[in-house]
Amino acid sequence: MKGWKRAVLPAVMLCALAGVANADDGESLLATVRGVDTLWVLVAAFLVFFMQAGFGMVEAGFIRAKNACNILTKNFLDYCVASIMFFLVGYAFMFGTGGSFIGLSGFGMDGAANPSGVSPFAFWLFQAAFCGAAATIVAGGMAERMKFHAYLLYTAVISAVIYPIVGHWVWSGEGWLAGLGFGDFAGSTVVHATGGWAAFVGTVVLGPRIGKFGADGRANAIPGHSIPLAALGVFLLWFGWFGFNPGSTLSVGDGNVIGRVAMNTNLAACAGAILAMVTVWALYGKPDLSMTMNGALAGLVAITAPCAFVSGAAAIAIGAVGGVVVVLGVALLDRVGVDDPVGAVPVHGMNGVWGTLSVGIWGRQALGLARDGLLHGGGAAQLGVQALGAVCVSLFVVASMGLVFLTIRKTVGLRVSKAEELRGLDIGEHGMEAYAGFQVFTTQ
C-alpha cells in the first residue's frame, strides 16, 4: 500500500467513528450495533440455508442414480414446507410464551416474541433455516423406498410441532431444560439429535431396502452412485457450518466468541475425519473415503453443542471421539438390521447425543456455561443435566415420530411398491431421471 493510503484510510475511519460516537446520546450507536448484528445473523442464515445444497449432494451421492431426483426433490420441498409451517405455527410453539413445555403466542409471527437482540425477521429466518436442517436429515435415512407424499406429511409435522417443542425446552428462555442450565449452544440436541432419532424411528418403521440384508441377516453393501458428488456435499456442509455455529452467537461483539466458535468447529471436523479414517482403516483394512467424510460431519455435529463453551484442545478431543462413534455406529446398525443409506443416525443422532454430553465434560462456566464441566472441577452436575436432556429429547422424538410414521403407514402409506423400488423412485414418483440419455428407444 502506498504512503498516502496508509495516512488517509485511518483518518477516514476515525472520523466515521467520531461521528457515530457524537450522535444523539448514543442512540445511533446502538442502532448501528443492532444493524451490524442483524447483518451478521442474516449472513449466517444464508450459510445455513446453503447447507440444504450440501445435504442434497451428500444424500444424492450416497444413493443409487435411479433415486437421485427423488432425494433432491425431498431436499427442495422439505425446506419449503418447513419454512411455511415454521412461520405459521412452529415459531410460536418454539419461542412464544405459554409455559415450560410449549409456547402459545405469536402464530403467523403476529406479535411474536423476539428473544434476540436483532431484527425479529432476521432471527426468524435464521431459526427457519435450522428447522429446515432438522427436517432434511431424515431424508437420507429413509432414502430409496419412501413415498414422496408421505415424506411431505412427515416434514409438516416435524417442522410445525416436534422440532419447535424441543427448541422451546432449550432455547426459549422459559423451557424446562433451559431452567436447569442445559447447554446446547448451536443445536447438537435441538437440531441434530432431533433429526437423527427421527431418521432412526423412520427407518425402523419403513424397513430396509430390498437386498440390503441377506437371508443370514448380514448386511450387503449398496454403493452410492457418485462419491465425488457426496464429497462436494460434505464440503458445502462444512462451509455452511461456519454460519450454523458462529451465527448462533446472534451478535458480533468484539469478534472473540465468533472466532473461538469458528476455530473449534473446524478443529472438530478435522479430528473427526482423521479418527474415522484411522478407525475404519484399522477395522477393515482400507481408508474408506465415505466413512472419512461422515467422520468430518460427525465432528461437526458433536462440536455444535459445546463450540462456545470449550477450548480448542477439547474441540479436537470431541471431534475425534465423534469420528470413532460414527464408524462403530454404522457397524452397529448393520448388525441390528437397520438400513440407513447415508449414515444419518450415527452422524446426527448418536453424535448429537455425544456432543451434548461433551458439554458436561469439557464445558467451562467462564465461557458462558451454567457451571463447570467434569474436567474443570464442576463435578458431575452439568454432565447429569446434559444426560437428562439428551435422554428426554431422544425419547420424545422417538415416541412422537414413531406415532407419526405409524399413522402415515396406516393411512396414506409409507413405502413404495416393490416394483417401483426396483425400478427407481425417479421414474415412479416424478416421471424423470437424474441422468437422461441412457434409455433404449425402438423405432417403428
Domains of the chain: 28-430 (1.10.3430.10)
Q: Cell numbers 454403493 label which residue? A: 223
Give the pLDDT confidence score for residue 15 in this predicted structure.
45
Contact 397, 196 (CB under 8 A): no
pLDDT of residue 26: 75
User: Which residues of the chain are modeled with pLDDT < 70?
Assistant: 1-25, 437-444
How do residues 201-227 score in pLDDT, each as one tens digit?
999 999 999 999 999 899 999 999 999
- pLDDT (tens digit per residue) in 41-92: 999 999 999 999 999 999 999 999 999 999 999 999 999 999 999 999 999 9
Give the model's pLDDT for residue 438.
Answer: 58
Res 442: pLDDT: 45
Query: How far apart are alpha carbons 346 and 333 in whole angstroms?
Result: 9
Report how far apart the first and last C-alpha atoms of the chain are (Å, whole number).
73
Q: What is the pLDDT of residue 328?
A: 98
pTM of the model: 0.92
pLDDT at 410: 97
- Quick one: pLDDT at residue 98? 87
Q: Rounded distance, CA 197 to CA 45, Å? A: 24
Q: Which of 24, 56, 381 is nearest to 237 (CA)?
A: 56
**Model pLDDT, residue 439:** 54
Q: Alpha helices, DSSP H only, in 113-221?
A: 120-141, 148-157, 163-171, 176-179, 194-206
Please tell me the distance from the alpha carbon of residue 258 to that of residue 247, in angstroms, as a whole number: 8
Q: In angstroms, rounded to a whole number, what is the distance separating the alpha carbons of residues 276 and 294?
A: 8
